[in-house]
Chains A and B, each alone.
Chain A
């Protein structure tokens, strides 16, 4: 089978708080999967489970055909890269020093960087376009630059599977799209991508499949089109149908009064805001 990651009836709870019950889904090799759901539904927890940083209380997580618990920590780190949401570094590390950390799983206990490690670091920086930032201090980079450097660390690990936690957070719409295009390119090159994504429009545009986490109910896995049907979203995000329709509708009338926001323009261009129930006049400005 071409499955790279599979959750089989996974239960997980933080002490009293139950997060997952009998969660099952599978990710195929080379796929680009969106992980969606409201705040607190367990997107970050799911990614940690997939990286074997947490253990399920019941059920099984299978990585490349083997139970995650059977892999050694370092073996997992050579196959799975987790790109976290935030990265706060207390010291003034330069970009290339940070990216070099991605080679750690490939080094021996006493070993330093060999020629092929240095090459891997260069290639990782190059493929996300941060080569020219290599001598900059990481803490001084912009949000978009940091995001790409974090992905470069993951690439330096030379993983089969890359897990990303809200990679588009804090980015403007231009950087968001750049980033999603980059992830698609990585998926096309054979790295399986699983990304927690808040922005449903981006998920619909760029991802082939997804998992929608719904609080206190079984998650749904399937194609993104299926997951983004209003009925599912209504249940997952706890919004009523009218508000959801407004969100999904395009601001055609509003546009004549106020200049369009850059992102709404972009979203409409990509067909997201057209909506089935177009009630343009009801577009809400927050």
Chain B
């Protein structure tokens, strides 16, 4: 149940989302084109060059963010930790700003400047936080949170500085603003395949870590007492979460609330076992962001709104509602 239902929802969301857009396709056409890509005609072109890459990008971004939410909430023993607590958003934003303003035409192996620099930026931010938080080698979680906050703030200031140097009329300013609010790109197929492969590998390898996060929930000392090598666990979880977050950011910019809302909602249904939560959150996060992104690109057509804005608008109140419910239960 922990995996079956979210998996079903994900398949349904993918097919339905692929049918919706400026050119409406029937479900039959979508399924036909999926089964027989060679003889699909116009529907196939729309599906394979525009719709599916975008739908899958949204799914992968949502999966990465929600999975990281589970990992970081377990790591910090705090249900309010989200994928951006270690400063990833600041690094990604600065990377995105550098890409948009300084090297807009740069690309590598078919991957655009924004995607690439956002990925590098968020990984670098977390690496700096990590290096700062462990002087003398001791891995202190509270220090990491504080360092993450500080580094995120500094990098955001850098982004603002780059932005303020631009002319108001520069269209790149708008591009950056939309991206900062979370906008899913239409990536190339090789890029999608690479991201999907890395994400899948990281999540599968993180499953044994998730089981140990349950012991960590008791306390660091308790986990050590149960034979867990706590520092190694913490390092591996930070690395896994950093890679997943950076990949998600490269596909969808800064999308808030997914990493918080999806794990929290699932915890109410499945309980707090991180081993069950991790795959369920990845699948549900994917389905959730596909639905959100479909609304973002179709509700106000032909105008698109950044999906991050939508998740904030819908996710904020939903999260408050869940909070009030869980409080009443406790």
Contact of A91 among B208, B217, B222, B226 (CB under 8 A): B217
Residues in chain A near residue B225, CB distance under 8 A: 51, 53, 77, 81-82, 84
Is B304's beta carbon under 8 Å from chain A?
no
Is B143's beta carbon under 8 Å from chain A?
no
Quick check: which of A23-31, A104-112, A226-234, A254-262 contacts chain B, the rest being far away? A104-112
Residues in chain A near residue B228, CB distance under 8 A: 73, 104
Chain A, 71-109, CB within 8 A of any chain B CB: 73-74, 76-78, 81-82, 84, 87-94, 97-98, 101-102, 104-105, 107, 109
Q: Report yes or no: B267 in contact with A101, Cβ–Cβ below 8 A.
A: no
Chain B, 209-256, CB within 8 A of any chain A CB: 211-212, 214-215, 217-219, 221-222, 224-229
Residues in chain B near residue A110, CB distance under 8 A: 207-208
Chain A, 115-159, CB within 8 A of any chain B CB: 139-140, 153, 157
The 8 closest A-B pairs by CB, nearest first: A77-B227, A91-B272, A74-B227, A105-B227, A104-B226, A82-B225, A90-B77, A101-B215
Q: How large is the interface on A (under 10, 10 to 19, 20 to 34, 35 or more residues)?
A: 20 to 34
Q: Report yes or no: B217 in contact with A93, Cβ–Cβ below 8 A.
A: yes
Chain A proximity of B265: nearest CB distance (Å): 14
Q: Report yes or no: A109 in contact with B208, Cβ–Cβ below 8 A.
A: yes
Q: Report yes or no: A73 in contact with B217, Cβ–Cβ below 8 A.
A: no
Contact with A along B268-296 (1 / 0, CB 8 A): 00011100000000000000000000000
Nearest CB in chain B to that of A74: its residue: B227
Chain A proximity of B320: nearest CB distance (Å): 19
Q: Report yes or no: B79 in contact with A73, Cβ–Cβ below 8 A.
A: no
Nearest CB in chain B to that of A77: its residue: B227
Kindly state the separation between the CA atoms of A262 and B27 in the bound complex, as whole angstroms.
Answer: 75
Contact with B along A206-229 (1 / 0, CB 8 A): 000000000000000000000000
Among A88, A92, A101, A157, the most chain B Cβ lie within 10 Å of the Cβ of A101
Is B166's beta carbon under 8 Å from chain A?
no
Kindly state the separation between the CA atoms of A210 and B274 in the bound complex, as whole angstroms.
Answer: 41
Is B78's beta carbon under 8 Å from chain A?
yes
Q: Report yes or no: A87 in contact with B219, Cβ–Cβ below 8 A.
A: yes
Kindly state the separation between the CA atoms of A82 and B220 in the bound complex, as whole angstroms.
Answer: 13
Given the known inter-chain contacts A73-B227, A92-B272, A109-B208, please indicate yes or no for A87 contacting B214, CB distance below 8 A. no
Residues in chain B near residue A109, CB distance under 8 A: 208
Chain B proximity of A50: nearest CB distance (Å): 11
Chain B proximity of A160: nearest CB distance (Å): 15
Given the known inter-chain contacts A84-B219, A89-B217, A91-B272, please indicate yes or no for A73 contacting B212, CB distance below 8 A. no
Kindly state the separation between the CA atoms of A251 and B114 in the bound complex, as whole angstroms.
Answer: 81
Residues in chain B near residue A78, CB distance under 8 A: 227
Chain A, 47-78, CB within 8 A of any chain B CB: 48, 51, 53, 73-74, 76-78
Kindly state the separation between the CA atoms of A110 and B219 in the bound complex, as whole angstroms.
Answer: 22
Kindly state the separation between the CA atoms of A97 and B277 in the bound complex, as whole angstroms.
Answer: 14
Q: Report yes or no: A104 in contact with B227, Cβ–Cβ below 8 A.
A: yes
Nearest CB in chain B to that of A107: its residue: B211
